[in-house]
Amino acid sequence: MKILVLGADGYLGWPTMMHFAKKGHQVLGVDDYSRRQIAMQTSSEALMPNPNLEERVKIFNEISGHNIACRVGDLKDFRLFESVFSTFSPDAVIHYAEQPSAPYSLKGYEEAHYTLKNNLEVTHNLIWAVMKFAPKCHIVKLGTMGEYGTPNIDIEEGWLDIEHKGRKHKFLYPRQAGSLYHTTKVLDTDLIWFYVRTFNLRVTDLMQGPVYGLSTPETDLDQRLLPNFHYDDIFGTLVNRFLVQAVAKVPLTVYGKGGQIRGYLNLNDTLQCVDLAASNPAEEGELRIFNQLTETFSVNELAEKVKKVGDQMGLGVDIKPIENPRKEAEDHYYNPAHTGLLDLGLEPHYLTDDVLASMLEQVLNYKEAIDASKIMPRVKWNN
């Protein structure tokens, strides 16, 4: 297949590029380096130095003998889409090109406006590029489990059958997100659903939980190919943050009561999921939605797991609940369905003690690079 990866320089985009190349697909990635710029502006740089996308592509091609390509540019500009689609007509587009940080989206007006504008305009431009230049192309869109929020009923995979006054209809499952970033993904879903049902696009929306991990078979080829592993309060996701905190001897930052439950997955499973989605495309006129997670944990459970393994390794891990900077339920029901990707063949890598130990070992290699001032939350939801 010809696979176009949008957001190719990101934590997920870069490993995705190499994964599809290794599977023998023709791969083109596009990125505007906005995450790198935001990281610089907010002192949220990744743990290890990551060469930029053009450099990484060159290194990977040299080492592996593959031939992936990249373009650097802003996908808010439709002319870039026109240029990309006229030279590389993709069979599938993996769309990660969004501002992915909930705290950044709540930092202030400029950050909120940027998040809204970037995320919706890129999604809308992608829809139009597919309609104009490659109407059979399958869009694999990264949504988020956070679109659903934490309702007091089971979370279904994207859709809900409603019976009302004796009549039945199937609707998008109700969405009520907990940050502006997550809300942009709700708006994306509505936008996509309109165009799917009106113009017969084929789309898979992957409702992904927080991802953890810092290596895949391809990133392990060379240190310079590692993903952008963030542990700061802006881009760092929970498990990755706890790993670094354990190594840096900073007490694990449980926000509030720590009863917040989310659906987590290993970086390697993200690759499996996007691969399974791309290899089994949605039908024309279908918006197919999968909940992309492999297991659920509360923040407290994850803190205890990291502490147990860290202590076994002699790290002496402490846990210290701090005031929750976010507005979110800290004690709630959470039961999301997630069978769709398993039915397609997903073989989960669970968060075992061995997996935690090997991730801690990897982080230990970069212990000297940890900047503890990036760890405590700097953005409050109600500020």
Residues engaged in binding ligand USQ (CB under 6 A): 100-102, 144-146, 182, 208-210, 237-238, 241, 253-255, 260, 262, 299, 326, 328
DSSP-derived pairing of the beta strands 69-72 and 26-31:
parallel
Active site residue 115: no
Going by C-alpha positions, the residue among 97, 93, 124, 83 that lies closest to residue 34 is 97
| Catalytic-role residue among 96, 104, 181, 366 | 181
Distance of closest approach, residue 62 Cβ to ligand USQ, in angstroms: 31
Distance of closest approach, residue 239 Cβ to ligand USQ, in angstroms: 7
Question: Which residue's C-beta sits nearest to ligand USQ?
Answer: 146
Distance of closest approach, residue 292 Cβ to ligand USQ, in angstroms: 9
| Catalytic-role residue among 22, 185, 307, 374 | 185
Active site residue 117: no
Q: Return the number of the residue (6 or 145) whose C-beta is nearest ligand USQ.
A: 145
Q: Return the number of the residue (125 or 240) whose C-beta is nearest ligand USQ.
A: 240
What separation in angstroms does the CA of 226 have from each of 4, 12, 175, 357?
A: 20, 11, 34, 18
Active site residue 144: yes
Distance of closest approach, residue 146 Cβ to ligand USQ, in angstroms: 2
d(CA 52, CA 57): 9
Q: What is the DSSP letter of 367?
A: G
122: tokens are 């890129």
Q: Return the number of the residue (115 or 260) whose C-beta is nearest ligand USQ.
A: 260
d(CA 290, CA 263): 13
Q: Return the number of the residue (85 or 334) whose C-beta is nearest ligand USQ.
A: 334
Distance of closest approach, residue 182 Cβ to ligand USQ, in angstroms: 6
**Ramachandran angles phi, psi of 61, nearest 5°:** -65, -40
Q: Return the number of the residue (228 or 253) whose C-beta is nearest ligand USQ.
A: 253
Going by C-alpha positions, the residue among 147, 188, 204 that lies closest to residue 340 is 204
Q: Return the number of the residue (286 or 328) whose C-beta is nearest ligand USQ.
A: 328
Give CA angle at 146 (232, 233), nearest 5°. Answer: 10
Burial zone of 230 (CB within 10 Å; 0-12 exposed, 13-18 middle, 19+ buried) = buried
Burial zone of 382 (CB within 10 Å; 0-12 exposed, 13-18 middle, 19+ buried) = exposed
Distance of closest approach, residue 129 Cβ to ligand USQ, in angstroms: 23
Quickly list DSSP for 153-214.
Answer: S-B-SSEEEEEETTEEEEEEPP---SSHHHHHHHHHHHHHHHHHHHH--EEEEEEE--EE-S
Q: Return the number of the residue (92 or 102) whose C-beta is nearest ligand USQ.
A: 102
Going by C-alpha positions, the residue among 282, 341, 286 that lies closest to residue 138 is 282
| Catalytic-role residue among 144, 184, 253, 294 | 144
Distance of closest approach, residue 147 Cβ to ligand USQ, in angstroms: 7
Q: Which residues are catalytic?
A: 144, 181, 185
